[in-house]
Each structure stands twice: as C-alpha cells, then as structure tokens.
Structure 1
Amino acid sequence: MGDADVPRRAAAHRAAFHPSRVTEESYHAVRRAWPYRPDLDWIAEAPDGSAAAFCLVWLDEANRAARIEPAGTAPGHRRRGLARAACLAALDAARRAGARQAVVSPRGDDAYPVPVRLYRSLGFRECARSLAYRRSV
C-alpha cells in the first residue's frame, strides 16, 4: 500500500462494511498511526484497477504477534478467495517481519458467519469468545 492506493482502499472498505465512515482522510490518518506498516497492508486488485479485497495486519514486535484488523471484500468480488489471498500475503509479510502467532477477533455469531469461514480457511481456530451486554434504560 502506498499513498496512491488510499482512495481505492478507502472505497473498498466502505463497500465491504457499508455503512462505513472510512474516508480517504481517515485512512491517511490510519497510515500515520503507530505501529502502522505499509508492508503489512495488502489489497487484491480487480481487473479494473479497483481494490477488490484487503487485509491490514498490525504487528506487535515485542510479543511477535500479528493482528488482522480489518479484512474485507467489496460486494461485487465476494466468494472468489480474494480476501483470503490478501490475508495470506499480509500474514506472510508479518511472519517475515518477526511474527510467530496471529490473532483476529471477528464477530462470530450465527447471524454473521462469513468472517468465521474466512479465518478458519486460513488456519485460525477459536480460542476465546466475547459477549456483548446491553442494558435497557
């Protein structure tokens, strides 16, 4: 990922996670945030030059751990393995940068099964589950 890729990367994020507040400006801010590394930010390019899928990995060098956050695919490109390819490339880059383990925290409930299928296809296994609590006022 370079600065020139930001418009199509932000557009792909908005499409994948509609509605999304990600803009070119906010993605430039992500790229300036510590510990962002452009070598761990990957896109799968569509034939028309747009970003079809993406994966950003954050590296914790001290713990030699990588975290996928986020990965996604624009709707017109889903079910082609493109997010998987972007994740594999980003995770390989993280491994070369020193990561020895990787984590991801997808929403894993029955109403949102797609992320779980993606991450299981990459070899991730469930190790913890988060529960959300809500209180009526």
Structure 2
Amino acid sequence: MTITKHTPGTEELPTVLAALRGWQGDQAPAALHPGDVGWFWRFGERTVAASVRLWRRDDQILAVGLVDGARLLRVNVAPDVFADEELAQAVAVDAADPGRGLLPEGEATVDAPSGSAVSAALRADGWSEGERWTPLRRDLGGPVEDPEVAVTVTVVRPDRPGDVADRVAVQRSAFARSTFTEERWHLMAAGPAYDSARCLLARDPSGAAVAAITVWSAGPGLPGLVEPMGVHPDHRGRGYGRAITLAGAAALRELGSSSALVCAESSNAAAVATYAAAGCVPQPEIVDLCRG
C-alpha cells in the first residue's frame, strides 16, 4: 500500500491534533506535541493548515510534519510505525527534494524523533547533527510545591485585556526576535488545542509582570508540554522562572497530565538549570539534523 503526503484543510486540523495526542507517552521520545501546533496557531488556522503535512497509508495517519519557518521541518510518527522503513524513506525523500513543498534548497533542518527510522534515514542520506537539545520531564503523580518567592499567578483570559497585554510584553522582552502580539495571542487562544491549555502570568508584589508560561495538555494520563516560558529580563535572577514553571506544572496536573515536558537548547545552561530547579529531570540529549 502506497504512502502518500497530504496538506490538510482547516477542517482536518482537529484530526491532526487527535493523532498527535494519541502518540504521546511518558516513555516516548520528545517529538512534535499537540501543544507545538497549538503555539503555532498564533499565526491563524489557515497558516497552520498550510504548514502541516500528513503521511498516510490508506486512511491511517503515519506521520505529521510541521513546517515551522522557512527552513525547519518538525516531525512525529505513530508508535506502531516508529521503525517503518517505507515511511522513513518517504519522509527522507520529501525532505530532500525542494520540489515536494517541504524545505527549500540549501540550509535546512529536520527535527525527527530520536531513534526512529525517519531519523536514521536522514542520517544515511547525509544529514548531519546540528543544534543539541535537552528534554526535561517532571512527574506529576504528586502535588507540586509552592514557589519560595512572592508572586501572584493569574490565568490569562480573553476577557482580561490588561493581562493579555502584559503576557505579550513579557514574551517580547524575554525573546529578542519574538513577533508575538495581542492579536496573535487571541488567535492562539481561539484554537482547538487551547481548549486543554493554560496561559499563566506571574506578578511580583508591586504588580509588575515578571514571568509568563503557556502549558498544553495532551489529555489525561499523557505528558503535557511547556511552550513557551519566559522571564522579563529586568526581573531575572530572582527565582521567577522556577516559580512560573512550578505554576505551569501545577496547572498541567489539574488538567490530568502525567508529566510536564519541556525542551531547552543544551547551550542555554540558564534555562536548563531553571527547569531542573523546578523539578524537571534532564533526559538524554536529542539533536536536530541539518543539511547545507
């Protein structure tokens, strides 16, 4: 049975999210999570649909790809085809050929599940190791401790425009190249993935917005995702990153998540240390695969 690649319409996106939810597990390697698609929803559902690729065999979705920017493809595969060579070759060929509508000529990056046949096929085709990432997980089987710093954490909601504005301001200050806006927050919050997500904002005793986090549940008993977390640069070094990460973990536990997952660049020692301080245990490193 032939494997085909397909770009979904907007009406198919709930099916895409359902497939990604079903592939999550505490023992599964870090890979594309429904929360990653939810965070991408800030660009609007038409952009999401145009950026998603599905590999199918008959009616079964075998793999989901997200073209995240001009030169990055993020892929996850169904657990029962993790070692499927036919699927691996199909994804590798599609990634290599600019005419197939995934990646342009020249420099490009693929984020594929570590240990999968897809990753092995790309390596065999000459893709080399690039950015190294440290996944961290926190078990949510027990209560999450309170932070040791004085903060007030609120859930950011569409009907609280002041909180939305402050949450966006923290994001833009924390990430130099951020293009986040209030309009994009509302687009994200209107997406179906956000039905099981929480956006949290931390304020210090003076009322200043100091940190923010968005967390995404994949469903009860499945790992949730932190994407993203940021601390305002004027307020770093005071424990606010740990505090907002703990608040995010507590929110995921309330949503029924089995664990909280986050990935940080291994080169970003401060981020890795912050997550570790919030009880997230570093897992084996994973690497992007690069061409050019």
Q: Structure 1 stretches of 5 or more lacking a match?
A: none
Tell me the equivalent position of 2:251: 93
1:84-130 residue CA offsets vs partner (Å, 9 max, x unmatched): 11111121121122111111111112xx2111001111121222322
Tell me the equivalent position of 1:70: 228
Query: Does structure 1 residue 24 correspond to structure 2 residue 182?
Result: yes
* Structure of higher CA gyration radius: 2
The answer to which of 32-41 and 51-60 deviates more is: 32-41
* Match 1:120 to one of 276, 282, 286: 276
TM-score by length of 1: 0.86
Query: Does structure 1 residue 43 correspond to structure 2 residue 198?
Result: no
Letter in 1 for 2:290: R
Query: For 2:290 and 2:257, how far apart are their aligned partners in 1?
Result: 36
Query: For 2:275 and 2:262, how far apart are their aligned partners in 1?
Result: 8
Task: Look up the SS of the partner of 2:282 in the other structure.
Answer: coil
Residue 62 of structure 1 and its aligned partner are, at CA, apart by 5.0
Tell me the equivalent position of 1:102: 260
1:24-65 residue CA offsets vs partner (Å, 9 max, x unmatched): 111111111222158722111145544210111100105522
Q: Which runs of 4+ in 1 moved over 4 A?
A: none
Tell me the equivalent position of 2:291: 135
**Larger RCO, structure (CA 8 Å, separation 6 or more):** 2
Query: For 2:284 and 2:187, how far apart are their aligned partners in 1?
Result: 30
| C-alpha contact 1:2 1:38 (8 A) present in aligned 2 | no
| C-alpha contact 2:220 2:257 (8 A) present in aligned 1 | no
| C-alpha contact 2:196 2:219 (8 A) present in aligned 1 | no
Paired residues, what number? Answer: 134
Tell me the equivalent position of 1:2: 157
Q: Structure 2 stretches of 5 or more lacking a match?
A: 1-155
Task: Look up the SS of the partner of 1:13 in the other structure.
Answer: helix
TM-score by length of 2: 0.43
Query: For 1:24 and 1:38, how far apart are their aligned partners in 2?
Result: 20
Task: Look up the SS of the partner of 2:264 in the other structure.
Answer: coil
Q: Percent identity?
A: 31
More strand by share: 2
User: Alignment RMSD, CA only?
Assistant: 1.9
